[in-house]
Amino acid sequence: MPARRPPVRRIERWLWVTASLCVSALVAGPLVRVVASVFEDSGGVWSHLAETRLADYATGTASLAVLVCVGATVLAVPPAWLLSRYRFPGAGVLSWAMLLPLAVPGYIAAYAYTDLCAAEGPLRRAIDGLGAADGMAWLVPDMRTLGGAAVVLASTLFPYVYFAARVAFREQPASAIESGRLLGAGPLATALRVELPLAAPAIAAGLLLVLMETVADFGTADYCAVDTLTTGVYRTWLGLGSEVGAAQLSTVLVVPLIGLFTLEAWLGRRRRSTDTTCRVMGDRRVSLGMPLGLCATAACLAPLVLGFIIPVVHLAVLSVNDNTDAGRSWLPTASWNTLRVASMAAAAAVVLSVVLVAASRFATGRATSLSFMCSRFGYAVPGPVIAIGVIAAVSAVSGALHAAGLPTLGSVFAVGSLVTLVVGYQTRFLGVALAYTRAAFERIDPRTDDAARTLGVGSLGLLARVHLPLARRGLLVGFVVLFADVVKELPITLMLRPFDFETLAVRAYKLASDERLGEAAGACLAMGGFGLVPAALLGAVLSHAASSQRIESPNR
């Protein structure tokens, strides 16, 4: 937020504070409703869960989180270091291609790998064809296990760590690293003793994002039959039919996740406050000789093959080989629904984020800061938890509106309306929009505010005539990233969608659950196509940074 506060009239200030509080109430309300459920009677569901399933859910969540974090570190950090410090065959392409796994949602990679490693799958058939079925059975792991889910999630989420590590290695002070070399440490020793410790806060921030995504994951854990708290919330809601029980189970997740989110935000602030006056390493890289160069290429290619090439190629093969007529008939409707709902949600999130960021700029104070902070928490909370909160909150609002004699308005906010679905997306993704919008507004010099005010422009005029034109590129990037996030989102859509309303994610989930993966492959690839856009945008940020001093990465 800007250090200086331009003078704003009292009435304007009051309006900004009110708008900010309304937005945060809209998106944080469902979370408050979830936490408030602790005081309600679940009809014995909670005690039943606590006695029977809670320990399994907690253990599954913790085990999956640890395994995924270890896997993502192994897959991301060595390539990030190699690509930051050395030139070798393919390094230019690999530098941005390492972000491509972001385009593949974990649950889609899980569908592909499960089919690939199935008892009658292509991998097993290939090994049988070699006549070494027994000796090479270990090459075909069972993907519907904790280990399988961890491999899938690590190979699709590692780009969060890769991006953070890449930026950190680039921004490291050149003199510190050169000093390490001159004090007797070789390249590897310097990497371990100087570069890695310096990059640790950024890597930790990337890992926290991976951790939050893992804990929030529903589709992969559900498909791989891993019991986690997130899948437990969904099963309690669907199987036991208890919203209160599901909400109470959700509180077990919400409180530690908000703690993690606060830690991530703190790490992000620390990264932004590092010394900017020293000479940074930037894009200075050393050429590697041939044998070592090829090893480096292989080390960087392996995560990309695992997280992008194998699932996408396998799904493409499945899609081409799919002969069912039904495999094509639903695709236009599901695509149109996806496009419509993702556009609405992304546009609404960008508008709401502009309101919150502008309020923080024009009406600096505790109220706007608190609104800003509360509006970000949803990103740390799993989709099923948010959906439960939205259902409870919307039911209360809808009931109150009907009671007040406003049935038309009440039906707009009913469970199963498009408006409710978009509200659910806002709760989950407004934090992402805020990160991009804040980054765009922070680049605007506060003195332009002062200059515009002296020319007689009010805060709304300043926003419309100065801020929005200057921030439009950042807002557009935020819109595209959000659009792709909403396209991939599964549990909120599954639980809050209107009757007979299917997006690509929902259709793919239902088909894959019915073991009709050939039909699901088309939807999976279409979603991957939407996801390529933000991956390409982040890749462009990395490439562009080669010619600039520092990389501005929005802190999600």
Partner 1 sequence: MTSSSTQPVLRVRDVRFGYARGHDLFAGVSLDVGRGEVHALLGPSGCGKSTLLRLIAGLERPASGRIECDSQVLTDGGTFVPPHRRGVGIVFQDLGLFPDRSAVSNVMFGISGPRRAARARAKELLRVVGVGDAANRPPGQLSGGQRRRVAIARALGPEPRVMLLDEAFEGLESDLRRAVRNDVFGILRSRGIASVLVTHDEQEAEAVADRVVRLPRLSRT
279 burial (CB, 10 Å; 0-12 / 13-18 / 19+) is exposed
Smallest gap from Cβ 184 to partner 1, in A, equals: 5
Q: Is the Cβ of residue 278 or residue 400 nearer to partner 1 in the bound state? A: 278
Are the beta carbons of 435 and 554 closer than 8 angstroms? yes
Q: Write down the least CB distance from residue 367 to partner 1, Å.
A: 33
Secondary structure string (H, E, C) spanning 477-493: HHHHHHHHHHHHCCHHH
Work out how close the CB of 285 gets to partner 1 at its nearest, in angstroms, rounded to a whole number. Answer: 14
Q: Is 87 helix (H, G, I), strand (E, B) or coil?
A: strand
Distance in angstroms (rounded) separating the CA atoms of residues 434 and 424: 16
Q: What gap in Å lies between CA 52 and CA 217, rounded to an integer? A: 22
Instruction: Decide if residue 466 touches partner 1 (CB under 8 A).
Output: no
Measured from the CB of residue 462, what is the shortest distance to partner 1 in angstroms? Answer: 37
Residues 6+ apart with CB under 8 A from 519: 322, 324, 326, 327, 511
Rounded to the nearest whole angstrom, what is the least distance from the CB of residue 186 to partner 1 in the complex? 6
How many Cβ atoms are within 10 Å of 174's Cβ, its own excluded?
13
Query: Does 285 interact with partner 1 (rule: CB under 8 A)?
Result: no
Which of 38, 74, 132, 278 touches partner 1 by CB under 8 A? Answer: 278
Counting residues that bind partner 1 (by CB under 8 A) gives 23
Instruction: Name which of 277 and 321 has its Cβ closer to partner 1.
Output: 277
Q: Counting every residue, how long is the chain?
A: 556
Closest to 69 in 3D by CA, of 209, 196, 166: 209
How far apart CA 235 and CA 233 sit, in angstroms, is 6
- With 0-12 / 13-18 / 19 or more C-beta atoms within 10 angstroms meaning exposed / middle / buried, residue 324 is exposed
**Per the structure block, which two tokens stand in for 441?**
């507004």
**Nearer Cβ to partner 1 (122/173):** 173
Least spacing, CB of residue 173 vs partner 1, in Å: 6
Q: Which is nearer to partner 1, 139 or 182 (CB)?
A: 182
Select the residue interacting with partner 1 from 93, 132, 174, 326 (CB under 8 A): 174
Least distance (Å) from partner 1 to the CB of residue 84? 17
Helix, strand, coil % in the chain, rounded to nearest 5: 80, 0, 20
- Figure out which of the listed residues 125, 269, 279, 472 binds partner 1, where binding follows CB under 8 A: 279
Name the E strands within 238-327: 286-287
Q: Is 198 in the site for partner 1 (CB under 8 A)?
A: yes
User: Does residue 276 belong to the site contacting partner 1 (CB under 8 A)?
Assistant: no
Q: In the beta sheet, which residues pair with residue 287?
A: 87
Is 277 an interacting residue with respect to partner 1 (CB under 8 A)? yes
Supply 103's token pair.
């385009």
End-to-end CA distance of the chain: 16
Candidate ranges 132-140, 170-178, 262-270, 437-445; the one touching partner 1 (CB under 8 A)? 170-178
Residues 6+ apart with CB under 8 A from 180: 189, 190, 193, 194
Q: What binding mask, one character per residue, do residues 177-196 give for partner 1 by CB under 8 A, x or -?
A: xxxxxxxxxx------xx--
CA–CA gap between residue 480 and residue 342 (Å, rounded): 10
Does residue 412 bind partner 1 (CB under 8 A)? no
Least distance to partner 1, CB of residue 274, Å: 8
**Among the listed residues 473, 468, 475, the one whose alpha carbon sits nearest the alpha carbon of residue 459:** 468
Pick the piece of the chain touching partner 1 (CB under 8 A) from 5-13, 174-182, 220-228, 229-237: 174-182
Could you tell me the smallest distance in angstroms from the CB atom of residue 193 to partner 1? 7
- Residue 433 is inside which H or E element, if any? helix 418-442
Q: Which is nearer to partner 1, 32 or 200 (CB)?
A: 200
If the CB atoms of residues 182 and 400 are measured against partner 1, the closer one turns out to be 182
Q: Work out which of 197, 332, 405, 456 binds partner 1, going by CB under 8 A.
A: 197
CB atoms within 10 A of CB 221: 28
Considering the complex, state which of residue 28 and residue 280 has its C-beta at the smaller distance from partner 1: 280
Among residues 18, 47, 59, 175, the one that binds partner 1 under rule CB under 8 A: 175
Query: In this complex, which beta carbon is closest to partner 1, that of residue 180 or of residue 522?
Result: 180
Q: For partner 1, give the closer residue by CB, 273 or 408.
A: 273
Positive or negative, the CA dihedral 441, 445, 446, 452 is negative
Tell me the C-alpha distance between 496 and 267, whole Å. 33
**Beta carbons of 421 and 344 less than 8 angstroms apart:** no
Specify the residue, 164 or 452, whose C-beta has the smaller distance to partner 1: 164
d(CA 12, CA 369): 17
Residue 283 makes contact with partner 1 by CB under 8 A: no
Site string for partner 1, 120-159 (x = CB under 8 A): ----------------------------------------
Give which of 147, 124, 148 is closest to 136, Cα–Cα.
124
289 near partner 1, rule: CB under 8 A: no
Minimal distance, residue 546 CB to partner 1, in Å: 17
Contact positions with partner 1 (CB under 8 A) in 211-270: none
Task: Tell me whether residue 59 or residue 179 sits nearer to partner 1 (CB atom).
Answer: 179
Give me the residues that bind partner 1 (CB under 8 A), please. Answer: 173-186, 193-194, 197-198, 200, 275, 277-279
